[in-house]
Amino acid sequence: MSFHLSDTELEELRSILAAGGVAGTQARLAKLHPADMAELLNRLEVNEAVRVYEILPDEPAAEALLLLDDEVREKILEKLTPQEIAEQVIENLDSDDAADVIAELPDEQQDKVLSHVEDSEQAGEIADLLNYDPDTAGGLMDKEFIAVHVNQNVWECIREIRKQAEEVESVYSIYVIDEEGKLLGLLSLKSVLTKSLRTPVRDVYNPNVISVKVNTPKEEVAMIMRKYDLVVVPVVDALGRLAGRITIDDVVDVMQEEAEKDMQMLSGISVYSEQQKNRVWSLSRARIPWLLVGLAGGVLGSRIIGTYESQIQIHPEMAFFIPLIGAMGGNVGVQSSAIVVQGLANNSIQPGDMVPKLLRELAVGLVNGLICSLLILGYNLLVSDSMNLCVTVSVALFSVILFASFLGTFVPLTLSRMKLDPALATGPFVTTVNDIIGMTIYFLVGRLMYSA
């Protein structure tokens, strides 16, 4: 009873398509859920996908178009005239999705497409939506909401809802507004269905409604909807007038993007352009900045070690443990910073929690530093003749772990206090600084021990 497309089915379809039987699969394809159509099209070659798209029924195809890789969508839209885009695509979409498709078109084509949208109300709504910043509530909202006036009664509401519902795919909430369009509250479907028909809306609506403003950043919209378990949230303009609604499906995508962006930044990957995600050059460009920072850190490290050249010549065993000191500082720093970045992202840590978080991470660093340095001490006592080396490695390792715990906590909290994204400079930056400081500590301790 599910539309779900299994891997074998997908392979089967692909092989039928490969054998040239596009028309033969039409009936089967037409029954697919738009999300499955998109999955299939995304796995085909671009030209193959364009050919298959043409034989799909308009309505699910329009929905599928939204989910296609940008490259495929571009190619498909290029093949359609403005009138075809308006009639086959735009008129089959909700206003927010329609605006997203139009926003991707070249400027001069946008107006042409809009002029071919037959329903002038829909065209007006889309034109409105195009004005909002895509990273704000205005850019996420759609216009398919149901609103009733506070002076109506339940019976008038039901008539109003029946009228409006023809254009609204899914009814989640009924909004109550005043004469000026200001949002006053919510009317639950439950009260519509259970209250007597003559009850005035004024007596049964719930004035405690959580709303967002058109210019609320999309990350904040996601945070609010997640915190308050909302399926839909109304959007109001500067005057408090109801401007649209945001449904959870759009916000789920925002949340996923946020989590993925954080993980990428922690891994040293900047601006990851989805547009050209398969081109080697754009992948390389997204990764090179942090590699260059690492390279500069490595050069700095080489200069620090260089000042101890004569010491290494006399005690080459000092060089053996350079990778261990570097790696452990890096590992501990990444652990602390990942926990802090994640806590800041899910609001379980506040930017002001500096002192308690630092103390906690330092306590963890103390425990783990002790364990690790005692273990390495035991190992060195067994295999090495040099007591100096044994003590140097363990003291340096302990200090480096403690310092890395501090830095991994301090950097993201400080960035967050400065209203910068804590994930921005945390991962590779913390690792690189830890490497440099680690080498300094190691050779300083070494000089002290060997000269003692």
Least distance (Å) between residue 278 CB and its own copies: 7
Which residue, 14, 69, 71, 84, is CA-closest to 38? 69
End-to-end CA distance of the chain: 79
Interacting residues with its own copies between 410 and 439 (CB under 8 A): 427-428, 431-432, 435, 438-439
Give the nearer residue to its own copies in terms of CB position, either 42 or 414.
Answer: 42
Number of continuous H segments (helices) and E segments (strands) in the chain: 23, 6
Give the nearer residue to its own copies in terms of CB position, either 157 or 415.
Answer: 157
Give the nearer residue to its own copies in terms of CB position, either 125 or 262.
Answer: 262
Least distance (Å) between residue 124 CB and its own copies: 23
Interacting residues with its own copies between 16 and 75 (CB under 8 A): 33, 35, 39
Which of 252, 271, 381, 387 is the binder for its own copies (CB under 8 A)? 252
**346 and 258 Cβ atoms separated by less than 8 Å:** no
Q: Does 130 bind its own copies (CB under 8 A)?
A: no
Which of 244, 268, 412, 446 is the binder for its own copies (CB under 8 A)? 268
| Stretch in the footprint of its own copies (CB under 8 A) among 76-84, 120-128, 206-214, 413-421 | 206-214
Q: Does 374 bind its own copies (CB under 8 A)?
A: no
Least distance (Å) between residue 337 CB and its own copies: 8
Helical H segments across 136-188, by residue range: 137-140, 154-165
Least distance (Å) between residue 304 CB and its own copies: 9
Least distance (Å) between residue 288 CB and its own copies: 6
Interacting residues with its own copies between 151 and 170 (CB under 8 A): 158, 161-162, 165-166, 168-170
**230 and 248 Cβ atoms separated by less than 8 Å:** yes
Which three-class secondary structure state does DSSP give residue 221? helix
Place of tokens 């990957």: 269
Beta strand 146-149 with 174-177 is: parallel
- How many CA atoms does the CB half-sphere of 406 hold within 13 Å? 11
Q: What single string gives the DSSP state of each residue in 103-150?
A: HTS-HHHHHHHHHT-S-HHHHHHHHHHTTS-TTBHHHH-BS--EEEET
Least distance (Å) between residue 151 CB and its own copies: 19
Q: Does 404 bind its own copies (CB under 8 A)?
A: no
Q: How far is CA 268 from CA 416, 429, 431, in A?
A: 18, 8, 10
Give the nearer residue to its own copies in terms of CB position, either 4 or 51.
Answer: 4
**53 and 76 Cβ atoms separated by less than 8 Å:** yes
Which of 50, 269, 358, 424 is the binder for its own copies (CB under 8 A)? 269
Beta strand 174-177 with 183-187 is: antiparallel
Structure tokens at 292: 């260059």
Interacting residues with its own copies between 75 and 114 (CB under 8 A): none
Least distance (Å) between residue 240 CB and its own copies: 8
Q: Does 238 bind its own copies (CB under 8 A)?
A: no
Place of tokens 């539309």: 3
Least distance (Å) between residue 110 CB and its own copies: 26
Q: Does 363 bind its own copies (CB under 8 A)?
A: yes
Beta strand 232-236 with 212-213 is: parallel
Give the nearer residue to its own copies in terms of CB position, either 123 or 144.
Answer: 144
How many residues sit close enough to its own copies to count as binding (CB under 8 A)?
A: 118
Strand partners for 174: 146, 187
Give the nearer residue to its own copies in terms of CB position, either 115 or 284.
Answer: 284
Which of 323, 418, 451, 452 is the binder for its own copies (CB under 8 A)? 323
CA dihedral 198, 201, 202, 204 (to 10 degrees): 90
CB atoms within 10 A of CB 79: 10
Interhelix angle 70-79/46-54, rounded to 10 degrees, is: 50
Q: Does 248 bind its own copies (CB under 8 A)?
A: yes
Which of 16, 22, 127, 263 is the binder for its own copies (CB under 8 A)? 263
Give the nearer residue to its own copies in terms of CB position, either 354 or 364.
Answer: 364
Give the nearer residue to its own copies in terms of CB position, either 105 or 144.
Answer: 144
Interacting residues with its own copies between 277 and 306 (CB under 8 A): 278, 280-281, 283-284, 287-288, 290-292, 294-295, 297-299, 301-303, 305-306
Least distance (Å) between residue 250 CB and its own copies: 9
Which of 326, 412, 422, 446 is the binder for its own copies (CB under 8 A)? 326
Structure tokens at 319: 């060089």
**119 and 91 Cβ atoms separated by less than 8 Å:** yes
Which three-class secondary structure state does DSSP give residue 311? helix
Least distance (Å) between residue 281 CB and its own copies: 7
Give the nearer residue to its own copies in terms of CB position, either 40 or 123.
Answer: 40
